Amino acid sequence: EAGVAQSPRYKIIEKRQSVAFWCNPISGHATLYWYQQILGQGPKLLIQFQNNGVVDDSQLPKDRFSAERLKGVDSTLKIQPAKLEDSAVYLCASSLYQLRHLTLNTEAFFGQGTRLTVV
């Protein structure tokens, strides 16, 4: 079974530039997450999709970050303009489903991440 695919693996940009990350989840997984992992910290949820709908984007800095999952499969996370503090690893994860009304909570599988350095 193919895992969660992310690209690029590494990206270096100057502050105020824009950047985009791509994620292709495991086939059939309805739920997709984007996490930000700053060096020395645990991953922090940025946005969660269920199919092509947003479940939670409360921690996404919407003035500069955007994400979409138009067809309910792959997803793109964009930063425009980037700041120095955006330097981090951006992790994508997927799971079969997360249905709170049924108390169903399946395992999340993570991609290898994209390491962003803003200089």
Partner 1 sequence: AQSVTQLGSHVSVSEGALVLLRCNYSSSVPPYLFWYVQYPNQGLQLLLKYTSAATLVKGINGFEAEFKKSETSFHLTKPSAHMSDAAEYFCAVSLPSGNSGYALNFGKGTSLLVTP
Residue with smaller CB distance to partner 1, 50 or 76 = 50
How many residues interact with partner 1 (rule CB under 8 A)?
A: 30
Residue whose C-alpha is closest to residue 90's, from 62, 107, 71, 67: 67
**Which pairing describes strands 65-68 and 88-95: parallel, antiparallel, or unpaired?**
unpaired
Among 52, 66, 76, 98, binds partner 1 (CB under 8 A): 98
Residue with smaller CB distance to partner 1, 16 or 44 = 44
The Cα–Cα gap between 68 and 85 comes to 22
- Locus of tokens 């800095």: 61
Q: How far is the CB of 89 from partner 1 (least distance, A)?
A: 9
- Locus of tokens 């992992």: 37
Interface with partner 1, residue 45, by CB under 8 A: yes
Residue with smaller CB distance to partner 1, 18 or 54 = 54
Interface with partner 1, residue 27, by CB under 8 A: no
Amino acid at 14: E
